[in-house]
Chains A and B, each alone.
Chain A
C-alpha cells in the first residue's frame, strides 16, 4: 500500500486567495493512502522543496502529490526534487488546483475548496497505482542541421561549429545571406550590408565543420531529438543525413502588395515596397544605387514613405507589428535625402517604434538633420494622376487631411513567415502560431526553443525582428544545441504507450493514427509495437484501438476509473 504525501501550495494568494488550503490539508489527512499532508506558501521554492525531501525521508513516503500550479510549470521541478530524495520521479504527480481551480472559481470559495479536495484525491488515486518508470536512454548524434542561410542561420552555424561540432547548413536559394544580402546599408551607421555579410559568409565557407548545401531543401524528416533522419533534396538528388538537433532559421518574406488594394495593389511601377527600395539603394542593385522612378527613370523629388502598410491591421489578418519598419524607413529616407538633398521625404506613421540601442536618436536625426517630414496619420489611398502618385493621408497634429503628389511611394509592408514555412513546420512537426510564424516554447523564458524536442528557432521565422536580434537568437539557439550535445546521454520521458499483446489483433489502426510515426506492426509477430523514443504519449492510439490493447504507462484504465470515482466524490 502506497504511503502518499500531499503538499499543497498557496502560490502566494493565487491559490490560497480562493481555496481554503488549511481545510483541504486537513480533509486529505484521512484519505486512504495518505500518511502526510502539508501546505506551504511557495512549494516550488527552495524551502518548499526541502519540505518535500524531508517528508519523504522522515515519513518514508513512496508517493507524492503536489497540489499547485499547472504541471507544465513545475512538474519537472518537483520530479527532480523527489528524485534527489531518492524516490522514483514518476511516483510524483501534480494536481493543478490553480489554473484548473482557484483561478477559474474566484467567486465561490466553498465550492472551489471542495473541488480542489476532490482533484487532489483523484491524483492520489493515480499515484497509488503509478509504476516507478525509468527514463529511456536515447542515442545522441552530435551533428546539427541548420535550415536557412540568412544571418540568423549563419550565426547559429558558426557558433555550433566553433565548439567543434559538425553542422549541415541547408539553403533554398543559390547563395547564402538571405534577406540581408538584398539590403543596401544598415541603420544606424549605414554600414554596407554586403560588406558585413561577406565576413560572416567567408567564415562559414572556410569552416571545416560546416557543410553548405545550396539550392537545397528539406524534403522529409523522421526520428527524434538526438537522432533525426533528414532527407535533403538538392537539385533533384536526395541525400539523407543523421543529426541530433535542428535550428530553424528560415526567415521572412514581405506581404504581397497585390493585397493592398487601396495602395494600388502592386499595379503601379512607382509604388514599391521596402525591399524593392533597398535594391534600388544598393550599389549592386538594378540602378547601381541611385534612386530613380521605375516608370521613367527620373530622379524623384517628392518621396512618400508609408509605415504600417498592412501591419497592425486586424481586419486584414495582420494584427501584429512588423517591428523593423519604423527604423528602416527612417534609414531609407535619410539615404534618399543624402542622394537628393533638395528632394522632400515624407513619412506617414502611427507610432514611431524606435526601440533598440541608439534607435531613438537615429530617428530624431532623420527629422532634425535631414528634414524628413514625419506626419502622424494613416494613409487611406494612393492612386495615379498626371504622372504622379497622389497620396491621401492625415496629420493628427494639425487635425487636417493631407494630400501629397509624390514621384515615388515606398510601402513598409508587413513581414510574414517565408514561403513554405507551413509545409516545413508540418515536416518538422513544429507548431506555428496564428500568423504563420514558428511558435516558441515560452514567449518570455524560452524564446529560441520550439515545443518539439531538439528543434530550435532563430531569427525572423519566429517573429519579426532586426539583425542584432536575429544574430543574438542565432547564438542563443546554438547555445541550446551545445548544451544538448555536451550531455553524456539523452533520456526520453518514459510516459509512453504500451501494447497488451494478447489483445492486439494487428489491425494497424494505431499505426495510421500516430502523428509521430511511433507505431509499427512488427514484421514477425504481426503485432503492434511502440517505438518508445518516438512516442510522445499523446494517447491517440489508445482511442483508435478497437480492442483496448493500447495503454499509456501510468495512465492505465484502472487508474483512470479510480480518478473519476474520486472526482465524483465516491
Chain B
C-alpha cells in the first residue's frame, strides 16, 4: 500500500516547484533542505534574464506559498541519512543539525541577530560580506528562524562566555543544549533536486586561483548587484571599495575544458554574463564592460535578443579565450585574444568576473549512493533516457529535477520540477485509485 506522501530533497526553485505541484494535487510533501532556509541559489541572484525581474520578487511568493502550504512540511537544516525500501514505500532517515534555537518558540523577531556581538564571513554573500553568528540567510528567509553557527560561536568555543542571544530573546527560544534530531519518514516517492555549486576559483590558477580580491566569480558579482547584498547594490571593487570603470567578464572559466575534467558546457553563463554586463552598465554609466567568449549560447525564448541588447548598449564582446590574469599596479591584467582582428588583447581591468563552471552540489556523490541512483562521468545525476525520460532516475519512485541533473536555467528547472511532480502524482494515484 503506497504512502500518499512524497519527499523532495532540495529546496531550490526546482524542488519548490515540485513540492508545490505535488501538494496542489492533494499529496503531502516533506521538503528536506540542507541550509536553514529554502530558496537555493536563486535567492542570491539580483535579477533574472531575460526579463530582468528581481529574483527575490518572483521567488518569495513561491517560498512563502511553500511555507504556508498545509500539505508541505519543511525540514530545513536537515539532510538525508539513509534510504531503504521501494517505490510506494520508502523509509528515509533524516538528520537535522541542532540549530540551538527552539523553532517552536521562536517568533522570528530578529532581536538575537541584532544583539549578537560576533560577525563572520557570510557564505550567502560568498565571502564579500559578513553575518552574525546567530543568523538567518536573509530577512525574507522561509522559515524565518535563525540557527547558531557553533563553529564560530563564542559561547561554544570559549566555554559559555557570551550567551547574548539567550539574554535578549523575549520568548526564551535559545537552547544551547539542543541536540541533533534523527527521524524516519515514510514516503511513496522521492524527487531529487539538489542543485549546483560553482567550480572553486582556487583551481583556476591561471586566473589567480582565488587569491586576488578583484577577481571574483559570478555569484559574488550577483551579491554586489543585489540591493540586499553587501554593498547595497552598488558595484564596488572588493579590494578598496572603488567603483570599477573597466570590468572584464570571462566566459567559459573552467567549462568546456576536458583537460580540467569539465568537458561540458555550463549552459547559463552566456546569458547571465550578458545580464551582469548590462546591469553593470546601467549602474555605472561611464563604465566599460568587456566579455571574452568562445561561443554565445543564447537559445531560449528571448535570449538571443537579450544578448544583442547587451551588445547594442555598449558591452564589448570579444571572441577569444583569456590566457592569464595577474595583478600589476593595482589593476588586474587580463590577457585575451580577439579572433576577429586576429590580435592579442590586454586589458587593465578594475574588476574581473569569472563565469566559473557549474558542478553538481557538494554531497551529490554521497546522496546518490544512499538513493542507489546513477551519476554520469561529470557527477550529475543520470536520467533514465536522455531524450525520452529526462526526469526519471531509472530507479522506480525516484525522480530528478533541476541543476542536479545537469546545468540548466530557471525555466528549465521549473519545468523539470513540475515534470517530476507529474510522475510522482501518477505513481501515488495509481496505488490509491481503484
Contact = CB atoms under 8 A, between A and B. Distances in A.
A516 interface: no
B18 to A, nearest CB: 9
Interface of A: 11-14, 17, 41-42, 44-47, 49-50, 69, 73-74, 76-77, 80, 84, 151, 159, 162-164, 186, 188-189, 191, 196, 199-200, 311-312, 314, 319-321, 323, 351-361, 364, 376, 396-397, 399, 433, 437, 440, 442-448, 462-464, 467-469, 471-480, 482-483, 486-487
Contacts of A189: 386
A323 B24 contact: no
Contact of A196 (B303, B376, B387): B387
B172 interface: no
Given A13-B227, A191-B387, A472-B412, A320 B422 contact: no
B54 A14 contact: yes
Given A191-B387, A486-B24, A45 B48 contact: no
A448 B21 CA distance: 13
A162 B426 contact: yes
Contacts of B67: 46
Question: Which size bracket describes the interface of B in this complex?
Answer: 35 or more
Contacts of B297: 351, 353-355
Contact of A437 (B301, B410, B414): B301
B145 to A, nearest CB: 10
A277 B94 CA distance: 53
A509 to B, nearest CB: 38
Given A321-B304, A444-B414, A475-B423, 11 more contacts: A13-B232, A44-B60, A45-B142, A311-B304, A351-B297, A443-B411, A444-B53, A468-B390, A476-B414, A482-B21, A482-B425
A200 B405 CA distance: 23
A200 B388 contact: yes
Contacts of B143: 46
28 contacts: A45-B64, A46-B141, A47-B144, A163-B430, A163-B433, A189-B386, A191-B387, A321-B303, A355-B299, A360-B255, A361-B258, A364-B258, A399-B342, A440-B301, A443-B51, A444-B51, A444-B53, A445-B58, A447-B411, A447-B414, A471-B388, A475-B423, A476-B419, A479-B21, A479-B418, A479-B419, A482-B426, A486-B425
A44 B227 contact: no
A486 B142 contact: no
B15 to A, nearest CB: 14
Interface string B20-39: 01001110000000000000
B410 A444 contact: yes
A354 B294 CA distance: 12
A372 B297 CA distance: 20
Contacts, number: 242
Contacts of A447: 411-412, 414-415
Interface of B: 13, 21, 24-26, 48, 50-51, 53-54, 56-58, 60-62, 64-65, 67-68, 108, 139-144, 227-228, 232-233, 255-256, 258, 263-265, 267, 295-305, 308, 319, 339-340, 342, 376, 380, 383, 386-391, 405-406, 410-412, 414-423, 425-426, 429-430, 433
Given A476-B422, A479-B21, A483-B21, A445 B339 contact: no
Contacts of B342: 399
Given A397-B339, A471-B390, A162 B299 contact: no
